[in-house]
Amino acid sequence: VISARKGEFETGFDRGGQTREHAMLVKTTGVKYLVVLVNKMDDPTVNWDEERYKEIQNKLTPYLRKCGFNPKTDIIYIPVSGLTGAFLKERPNSEFGSWYT
């Protein structure tokens, strides 16, 4: 689970952040496939912005490739809101995440 909130993602992903550490740990323990939930897409700093989602995806993917995951076959990204349950319990209204298929 990755936070899309501005500043939170960067803190977790920058050198020494837990996101990098967790990615390496799961690969070394034998996990072969990842479902990456990009959470807090409903946050006011994100507001279901497709560009923010893609920015996170574009930063994570090369690192996950270095860890040994194949981006085409081993990783699925899903934008979600843990607060509202969007894309966790059901597909949200078309105004939120309408770009995600």
Range of the domain at 9: 2-79
Q: Which of 29, 48, 35, 19 is nearest to 77 (CA)?
A: 35
pLDDT of residue 59: 96
27 falls within a domain: yes
23 falls within a domain: yes
Whether 41 contacts 97, CB under 8 Å: yes
17 falls within a domain: yes
Phi, psi (deg, nearest 5) at residue 75: -130, 135
101 falls within a domain: no
Q: Could you read off the pLDDT of 42-101 as tens digits, one per residue?
A: 999 999 999 999 999 999 999 999 999 999 999 999 999 999 888 888 776 666 667 886
Q: How many domains does the chain have?
A: 1
| Residue 21 neighbours by CB distance under 10 Å | 11
Tell me, what CATH number does 61's domain have? 3.40.50.300
* pTM exceeds cut of 0.75: yes
